[in-house]
Amino acid sequence: MTITNHLTGPASPATDITHKRRLPKPDQGLLAAAGEAIRDFGLIENGDRILVGLSGGKDSMALLHVLLDLQRRAPVKFTLAAATVDPQMPGYDPAALTAWVTSLGIEHYLQSYSLGRYAHGSLQGKSLCSFCSRMRRGKLQGIAREQGFNVIALGHHLDDAAETFLMNSFFGGKLRSMRASYVNDEGDLRIIRPLIYAREQQTAANAGNAKLPLVADNCPSCDAKPTQRNAMKALLSELETEHSNLFGSLKATLRPLIGQTANSPGLFTGDQQPGLDITSANEQPLTFVRPDHRSG
With residue 190 as reference, give the H or E element that holds it: strand 190-192
SS3 206: helix
How many beta carbons lie within 10 A of that of residue 138, not counting itself?
12
Q: Please count the other Cβ atoms lying within 10 Å of the Cβ belonging to residue 234.
A: 12
Sheet with 181-183: list strands edge to edge: 108-112, 79-86, 49-53, 151-153, 190-192, 181-183
pLDDT value at residue 64: 98
Contacts of residue 145, defined as CB under 8 A and 6 or more positions apart, other chains included, come to 188, 189
In percent, how much of the chain has pLDDT > 90?
62
| Spatial separation of the C-alpha atoms in residues 207 and 273, rounded to whole Å | 33
Measured distance CA(85)–CA(289) in Å, rounded: 38
Q: How far apart are CA 154 and CA 42, in angstroms?
A: 15
Contacts with 113 (C-beta within 8 Å, 6 or more apart), sequence order? 5, 85, 86, 87, 88, 135, 139
Q: Is the dihedral of CA 142, 60, 39, 72 positive or negative?
A: positive
Asked whether the beta carbons of 156 and 59 are under 8 A apart, the reply is yes
Question: Is residue 272 very low, low, confident or very high in pLDDT (cuts 50, 70, 90)?
Answer: very low
For 78-90, write each residue's pLDDT tens digit: 999 999 998 887 7
Tell how strand 190-192 and strand 79-86 pair up: unpaired
The widest CA-to-CA distance across the chain, in whole angstroms, is: 77
Please determine, for residue 73, whether its predicted confidence score (pLDDT) is greater than 70. Answer: yes
Most confident range, picked from 141-155, 217-231, 261-275: 141-155
Rounded mean pLDDT of 151-167?
A: 97
Per-residue pLDDT tens digits for 88-121: 877 788 888 999 999 999 999 999 887 666 555 5
Is residue 54's pLDDT more than 60? yes
Q: Could you tell me the end-to-end alpha-carbon distance of the chain, in angstroms, rounded to an integer?
A: 64
- Residue 51 binned pLDDT confidence (cut-offs 50, 70, 90): very high
Asked if pLDDT for residue 275 goes beyond 70, the answer is no
pLDDT, tens digit (0-9, with 9 covering 90-100), for 221-267: 555 555 888 899 999 999 999 999 999 999 999 999 999 875 454 44
Instruction: Spell out the residues 6+ positions from residue 33 whose beta carbon is closer than 8 angstroms to its own.
Output: 158, 195, 197, 198, 199, 202
Task: Report the pLDDT value the prediction gives residue 17, as an integer from 0 to 100.
Answer: 45
Which of 183, 150, 163, 188 shows the shortest CA–CA distance to 260? 183
The pLDDT of residue 198 is 98
Which of 242, 238, 226 is CA-nearest to residue 283? Answer: 226
Q: Is CATH 3.40.50.620 the classification given to domain 23-281?
A: yes
The lowest-confidence range among 69-73, 91-95, 185-189 is 91-95
Checking if the pLDDT of 151 tops 50, the result is yes
Highest mean predicted confidence (pLDDT) among 86-100, 120-134, 186-200, 270-284: 186-200
| pLDDT band for position 2 (cuts 50, 70, 90) | very low
Query: What pLDDT does 134 receive?
Result: 79
Domain parsing of the chain, residue ranges: 23-281
38 against 18, higher pLDDT: 38
Q: What is the pLDDT of residue 119?
A: 56
Whether the predicted pLDDT of 31 surpasses 80: yes
